[in-house]
Amino acid sequence: MSLKDSLPKENGKLKIAREDAQSIAALVKSWEACQQRIQVHRRVPNPGSLKHAVEKPTKKRKPYCFGPIEPSFREMPDNAPLVAATPAG
């Protein structure tokens, strides 16, 4: 506010010199640094610093068989026919 009072006015507008502009820029930078410190103390993360958790792909399960299980070749008796007889017709 004291900076505003010290600036000269011409025709209702403020006239800002180079030194005044530099002091305003320094004031803005210090204000931003102060806001950043407050944000850190409140434990608020910076925007874009958090990343979403990546889900691990689950293993595909083998389907459970509900039907009858056919015997393998090793389980068949020696005298069993290899091909089932079909009726002629």
**Residue 34 within a domain:** yes
Range of the domain at 23: 17-47
Q: How far is 53 from 56, CA to CA, in rounded Å? A: 9
Q: How far is 41 from 37, CA to CA, in rounded Å? A: 6
**Residue 67 within a domain:** no
Are 23 and 3 in contact by the 8 Å Cβ rule? The answer is yes
51-75 mean pLDDT: 68
Domain count for the chain: 1
Q: How far is 87 from 6, CA to CA, in rounded Å? A: 114
Q: Could you report the per-residue pLDDT of 39-55, keeping only the tens digit for each? A: 888 888 877 777 777 77
Flag whether pLDDT at 80 surpasses 70: no
Are 9 and 15 in contact by the 8 Å Cβ rule? The answer is yes
Q: How far is 22 from 52, CA to CA, in rounded Å? A: 41
**Residue 7 within a domain:** no
Flag whether pLDDT at 67 surpasses 70: no
Q: Could you report the per-residue pLDDT of 7-39, keeping only the tens digit for each? A: 788 887 888 889 888 989 999 999 999 999 998
pTM of the model: 0.45
**Residue 77 within a domain:** no
**Residue 28 within a domain:** yes
**pLDDT, position 35:** 92
**Residue 58 within a domain:** no
Flag whether pLDDT at 77 surpasses 80: no
